[in-house]
Structures are given as C-alpha cells and as structure tokens.
Amino acid sequence: MENHAAPSQASSTSEATGTNAIHSHLENFKQGIEKDEFVLLAQPVHDLERGHIAAAEILVQWHRGRTNLLPGEFLPQLEEDQISGELDFYVLAHSLQLLHESPGGRSSLLPLSFNLSAQLLQSHGCVERITSLVEAFAIDKQRIWFEIRQEMLQKSSADLREQIEELHQEGFRIVADHVGMDPGKLDQLSAFPVYAIKIPVIDQEGGGHSSVDQAAFQEIVQLCREQNQIVIGVNVEHHHEVDALLESGVSLAQGYYLARPMPLPKFLQNL
C-alpha cells in the first residue's frame, strides 16, 4: 500500500511546491511594480542613410535591490508563470505616460516599438485594453509598433491571428521579430499584416555566417521589398556590418555599435 501511495504523495508535494513558487514569483512581481523596480529603456533604430534616429524599441530591466536583471533573466519565468502579459501592459502604460509628458519636438513623432507576449495577445479584451490606453494619451496609433516573434506568428491560433488583425485594423504597426535565415518560412508571414521585419545582420568579415546565410539574407530583403515591408537589421556590433546593410539596400539598423539601450526619459529628453 505504501508503494502505491508514495507516487501520489510525491505528485501532491510537487504540485504544492510549484504552486508556492508561482505565488512567490507573483508576489515578487507585484512588489516590483509597487516599488518601481522595473526600469524602462529605449534602444534606437538608426536610419543609416540620413544619419538620424528613426524609431526606438522599448526594453525593460528589473532592478531588484542591488541586482540589475536583464530581460532574459526574468522574462522566461514570468512567461512560465503566465504573468508576462501584465508586464507588457505595464511597460506600454508607463512608456506612454513618459511620452505624453515629454516636451515635444521629435519625441511627438518618433515611432516606439513594444514587445508583446503570447499571454497578453491571448488575454480577453487585449485589443480594447491597448486601444483605450493609447487613445487616452492621444497618441497616433501608427507610431506604436508591436513586435511579435516570428515563431509565435507561425504557431498562432485562429484567435491570436484575429487579435493581431484587430490591432492592425486599429492602426497599430505589426513588426515580425527574431526572423530566421529561412526565406521559405517568410511566406508564412504573408497571412499577417506585417509592416516591418527584424533580421540579424550578416557578419561578412567576422565569419559568423556562411555564404548560404548571406544569400538567404539577400533573398529575405528582396522578398520584403516585394511585399512593401520595412527591413530592420539588428544585432549590429561592427562598422563593416553597417556597410554590408547599406550595400544590401537596408538603411534601418539597431545594435550596440550604433547605440546601447538608455533610460527612456533620457532618450526622450535628448531627441
């Protein structure tokens, strides 16, 4: 009898431990919100031809005590615990507040992009909630870009596709993020109202990519042109990568070589 009961007891203990862990993570998250531990950053997207900032991606760090946590150090856990959607909305709301309070000038025209998790997109009333928030700050919806991973788009359900289409109908821009070097999979994005795509720059001198990757990059750029989609080269860390992008006809780029993420208030102030 004891041998048969043990697995059940172990399972119950495991479930209880998992529940307690989720509760603990949720409490830490709530405390982080209450104490303003989440710091908003902006990483510019540069127009290489014109020499100015064309847009900016909004990022977030979690400053817990003396520890600065990068997104990769806490977002996976929030996603696993099904609370990442609330962080998405927090980032959007506080960014719009800062934008609304900015002195104007170029900050009143510059597009800002936000990463959206599957959890927020699948939540009830997501589009209405986002739309109401943006309208409350009287911000042009076309200035708000939402970045969605290519993998999420390709695996999306009918409900998720409907939410994305509704965001597009409201006037928001959809950006396909983390696009891989497979031109064949790009066709799968044609079912979505994608305004722009982000693809990693090809390091032609550093040997980080093969000639096959370079050919794929060129093919992706050409396919995007045919679809009237904007291409943004990301992960730019060297000057020769800038040259390679320009030679490929890609003028928008983002990466540490061009600019590191900076506090959003400072970014808006410097525009």
Q: How do residues 111-164 score in pLDDT, each as one tens digit?
A: 999 999 888 898 889 999 999 999 999 999 999 999 999 999 988 888 889 999
Which residues pair with residue 203 across a beta bridge? none
Domain boundaries, the chain: 36-270
Distances (CA, A) of 30 to 22, 38, 142, 248: 12, 11, 31, 46
Asked if 230 contacts 196 with a C-beta cutoff of 8 angstroms, the reply is yes
Average pLDDT over residues 74-92: 80
Given 3-state DSSP classes, what are the helix, strand and coil percentages for the chain, each rounded to the nearest 5?
Answer: 55, 20, 25
* Average pLDDT of the segment spanning 56-66: 89
Class of domain 36-270: alpha beta
Between CA 53 and CA 91 the distance in angstroms is 21
pTM value is 0.85
pLDDT at 191: 87
